[in-house]
Amino acid sequence: MFDLTLTFDNGPEPDATPGVLDILKRRSVLASFFVIGEKLAKPGARALAERAHAEGHWIGNHSWTHSVPFGQRSESDLSDREIGRTQQAIGDLAHPRRFFRPSGGGGNLDKRLLNPAVVEYLKREKFTCVLWNSIPRDWNDPDGWVERALAQCGKQKWTLMVLHDLPSGAMRHLEGFLDKVGEAGGRLRQDFPPDCTPILEGIVTRPLDAYVADGGK
């Protein structure tokens, strides 16, 4: 028995997001979508986020460009350009807890995630920072990720998994993955494990040293 929270990063994508939403709706599964601001600004993309929101999914902020991880950047206006601009684009689709997920540059949970100025911004603007404890690497192994994902679920009581609604072909295995989760006794839920939200509505809930460049708090 295990719990599983599904999250989808790096959309919206017209060639992938609708199919993911169709599967989740058919299975009555609620998830979270962490969107990239510059994609959200493209024609038709906001309608996908609106559909996700209308169907009960949570919409989170995954930065404007999803380029170099914040722990490796030091521009003074970084937070406003990458986080604030995206939050404005999300607008009334945003969850009240203002979910933000940093990029790890390939799923890394280390000091590449954040820098001290970004942490202060998240605190000041009362964001909830949502990390993860499962990266099955669907984006670079579109056919092999399912077994890895199941193995990761089997190693912990509550998994917060990052998948990607990208046109890589990986999401054609999503329904089969959900079948196997059910067969293994997994329970799907939408909320996040407390140890994956080190900042909750602007309040630091656990040490950030492992995630912040230069030892920022």
Q: What is the CATH number of the domain that holds 40?
A: 3.20.20.370
| Catalytic residue flag (residue 9) | yes
> Considering its fold, how many domains does the chain have in total?
1
Partners of 100 in the beta sheet?
61, 129
Determine whether 164 is an active site residue.
yes
Spatial CB neighbours of 8, under 8 Å, sequence gap ≥ 6: 17, 20, 31, 32, 33, 34, 162, 163, 164, 165
Q: Per-residue pLDDT tens for 172-207?
A: 999 999 999 999 999 999 999 999 999 999 999 999
Q: Cα(108)–Cα(55) distance, rounded to whole angstroms?
A: 30
Q: Tokens in use for 52?
A: 């996700």
DSSP 3-state of 36 = coil
- pLDDT of 100-133, one tens digit each? 999 999 999 999 999 999 999 999 999 999 999 9
- Please give the helix or strand (H or E) that residue 161 lies within, else none: strand 158-164
Residue with tokens 């790890």: 104
Mean pLDDT, the chain, as a whole number?
96
Give the alpha-carbon dihedral of 161, 16, 40, 82, to 10 degrees: 40
* Token pair in block for residue 213: 């460049």
Catalytic residue among 9, 57, 62, 165: 9
What pLDDT is attached to residue 214? 82
Three-state SS at 175:
helix
- CA separation for the pair 111, 109 (Å, rounded): 7
28-63 pLDDT tens trace: 999 999 999 999 989 999 999 999 999 999 999 999
Q: Which of 62, 66, 164, 165 is catalytic?
A: 164
Whether 2 and 187 have beta carbons less than 8 Å apart is answered as yes
Show the domain range for 153. 2-215
Query: Rg (Cα) of the chain, in Å, rounded?
Result: 16
